[in-house]
Amino acid sequence: MPGAESLRFDFASPGRISFGPGVIGTLANEASALGSLALFVTGRDPQRHRPVLESLLSKGLIAEVLPVDREPTVDMVRRGTQLAESASVNLVIGVGGGSVMDAAKAIAALLANGGDPLDYLEVVGAGQPLARPAIPLILAPTTAGTGTEATKNAVLLSEEHRVKVSLRSLGLLPRLALIDPELTYGLPHEVTAMGGLDALTQLIEPFVGRSPQPITDALCLDGMRRISRSLRPAYSEGSNAAARADLALAALFSGIALANAGLGVVHGFAGVIGGMAEAHHGVVCASLLPAGMLANLTALRARAPDHPSLPRFTDLAIALTGREPAEAEEGIAWVAQLARDLGIPRLSQLGLEERDVDLLVERTAVASSTKGNPIVLTPEELKGIVRASW
């Protein structure tokens, strides 16, 4: 790794982070300090958050409620932005999973910048910069996985192009991220598994990727240890307070890590697959992660044996297994066993067809996330990841 004299990095995070059991109860007071009329973005049943809604309504803060019942699309964000504009909102609040928070971020950005999502989307759009920060934005996750409350992008599905792509700007970071582990108590087993493995992928890829830095390194290693000790307990006992706090914190760390150090080939695949099949992002990541890790490890050993990412595979193996010393392959085996234990399906069970593989590999090779991979993988190596995960 570079010496201290050559070390240089930038670091971005939400304007403020409030973490702990019960912090969702502060939302109304926090919102009133940032705006007077809010668009409240949440899941398909806003009544799940009745106490939050009532506290916001008691202060006259809610102008409109926008339920999000699926991954946000370009058209959905267009409609949400129009709804917000007609209500003259000056604040956006997102309480929900990653899809809810992505929609809230995209709408807040468009309210500040005007125009259409395709003006700013990467890959399929014009890719224009978002010149202005989003209007004031508060995000509160109700799952522990995506880390969207701490990222500087908003992922949208372009149904026309059959691909998931991002709006990307520092201005998408929320003014306030409220992380209350109690909001995740009692999540279904499969949601716990998908979220935890999504966060794990978002901790591993920045750690071994092209652009690591000291702050994200520390967060990644700590987050891996938390997931290692707490994902199984949270999966089997939904209201295990200590385990839920660990997962919520690990998810937050994963969002900060990917925002600052990038991702890798697993997320490159996941973004493409998300546009081609009705599959949950966390499931896709989990099904690909062991093969993606092994492909990178093998390629680095063969073509870049002095690469600084190589010893990091040993570091993550120690963090995940709790054993020292540990071999790099032990970390990969640990991840593969965890995915099996939590019932993660194979790629072939996610609605993909074998005829899709060539297009999948072609699109993954140029995906934004793939650019953060520690080494450029050949088309045959990319196909190998798919075959091993099929």
β-strand partners of 204: none
How deeply is 302 buried, as exposed, middle or buried, from its count of CB atoms within 10 A (0-12, 13-18, 19+)?
exposed
> How is residue 139 written in tokens?
């995000």
Residue 195, pLDDT score: 97
Domain ranges of the chain: 17-184, 189-389
d(CA 88, CA 37): 7
pLDDT score for 5: 52
Cβ neighbours for 3, distance < 8 A, ≥ 6 positions apart? none
3.40.50.2300, 3.40.50.1970, 3.20.20.30, 3.40.50.1360: which CATH number matches 17-184? Answer: 3.40.50.1970
Kindly report the CATH number that applies to the domain delimited by 189-389: 1.20.1090.10
Report how far Cα 311 is from the mean position of its chain's Cα atoms: 25
Contacts of 254 (CB under 8 A, 6+ apart): 147, 198, 199, 200, 201, 202, 203, 220, 223
Q: What is the pLDDT of residue 123?
A: 86
What confidence score (pLDDT) does residue 1 get? 46
- Per-residue pLDDT of the chain (390 residues), as tens digits, is 444 557 899 999 999 999 999 999 999 999 999 999 999 999 999 999 999 999 999 999 999 999 999 999 999 999 999 999 999 999 999 999 999 999 999 999 999 999 999 999 998 999 999 999 999 999 999 999 999 999 999 999 999 888 888 999 999 999 999 999 999 999 999 999 999 999 999 999 999 999 999 999 999 999 999 999 999 999 999 999 999 999 999 999 999 999 999 999 999 999 999 889 888 899 999 999 999 999 999 999 999 999 999 999 999 999 999 999 999 999 999 999 999 999 999 999 998 999 999 999 999 999 999 999 999 999 999 999 999 999
What type of residue sits at position 70?
R
Would you state the pLDDT for residue 162? 83
Nearest CA-CA partner of 68 in 13, 139, 168, 170: 139
